[in-house]
Amino acid sequence: MLSGICCIVLASTFRMPISFAWSTPGAALLVAAGATTDDFSAATGAFLVCGVLILLCGLWPLLGRAITSIPRPLASAMLAGILFPICLAPITAAVQIPWLALPVIVTWLICFRFAPRWAVPAAMLVAAIGIGITAGTGWLGNAGVLPEVTFVLPHFDPLVIVSLGLPLFIVTMAGQNVPGFAVMSTFGYAVPPRPPLLASGLGTIVGSFFGGHAVNLAAITAALMAGPDSHPDRSKRWVATVTSGIGFIVFGLAAGVATALISAAPPILITAVAGLALLGALVAAIATAIENPAHRIPAAATFLVTASGVTIVSIGSAFWGLLVGGVVMLWSAFPWRRRPKNRA
């Protein structure tokens, strides 16, 4: 709902299709960071730190430039390493629960061939039908008419902040906010950076107290609303963003029913649907990571360490992947050749 409010307020104020969403890469990071901590209040503290850092990027332009200067191959490789295990879930689900997973995968494949835009929604619909059939009507007893909002008091664990909060901040900035600005620029919109970053930071801070992980600029959906498919007249495309914000709020109010249905599903099936939805993001991240031949080895190191899921001193693999990739990049770029001595 916070994303919807940000969409409505900023699009109406600036008359631009400035779109917000929740961070898909951030959600993938949370799945990958499940082994980091089982204390949700500590995770909430990490979310809050992430929001404060995003807010500082809006207030302090130097910090924003420092984050955006992280080499794209490393940031993309880290994202690819996070997404890779999730994108393997459809394969695992097809083996473990074929009667539920195979119809979802086949539906996705058919729609991907003939109607790519509807591939993921169709797969989600088939998954929901399968869950409803296997779970019966028992899950309806746990479905509330309105979603239950619970305040979570944050706990600041330094190790969780380093292993979850900082990678979440980097992924949100590098994987969502920075591409969000790029998409808007592509379609000719000169968006002032401070208001969206302040909205992203404040939205993340407020949401963190209720278990929300990140509010950020949209990238993929922003391309839909800022492009000509939204409206031939560029000056009227902001209406699409306001409409999407209203849609966010409506779907947010129905979160109780959705949560009850998901809770009745096998966890591997939910991860499998997420894996299908994230295949495009995985391909884009890999393509960006290996685009420059000079950075392929550092990117590969970042990807492998991140995808390994290792946890060292309770710090997750996303942080170590970025660190290892940075060391390899500096090592490979260091000028080792000695200067020739001047002969008399």
Confidence of residue 182 (pLDDT cuts 50, 70, 90): low
Q: Is residue 179 part of a domain?
A: yes
Q: Given a cut of 60, is residue 68 above it in pLDDT? A: no
Distance separating alpha carbons of residues 78 and 172, to the nearest angstrom: 12
Beta bridge partners of 195: none
Q: How far is CA 56 from CA 50, 143, 166, 200, in A?
A: 10, 39, 14, 11
Q: Which range marks the domain in which residue 198 is found?
A: 2-332
Among the ranges 138-147, 155-164, 220-229, 251-260, which has the highest mean pLDDT value? 155-164
Q: Is residue 44 part of a domain?
A: yes
Report the number of distinct structural domains present in the chain. Answer: 1
Distance separating alpha carbons of residues 39 and 161, to the nearest angstrom: 12
Q: Given a cut of 80, is residue 282 above it in pLDDT? A: yes
Q: Is residue 123 part of a domain?
A: yes
The one-letter code for the residue type at 252 is: G
DSSP labels, 332-344:
HHS--PPPPPPP-
Beta bridge partners of 21: 216
Q: Is residue 206 part of a domain?
A: yes
Among the ranges 182-191, 204-213, 253-262, which has the highest mean pLDDT value? 204-213
Distance separating alpha carbons of residues 72 and 288, to the nearest angstrom: 7
Q: Is residue 344 part of a domain?
A: no
Q: Is residue 337 part of a domain?
A: no
Which range, of 46-55, 106-115, 236-245, 246-255, averages the lowest pLDDT? Answer: 246-255
Distance separating alpha carbons of residues 7 and 1, to the nearest angstrom: 10
What is the tens place of the pLDDT at every residue in 76-108? 788 788 789 888 999 999 999 999 999 999 999
Distance separating alpha carbons of residues 16 and 226, to the nearest angstrom: 8
Q: Is residue 341 part of a domain?
A: no
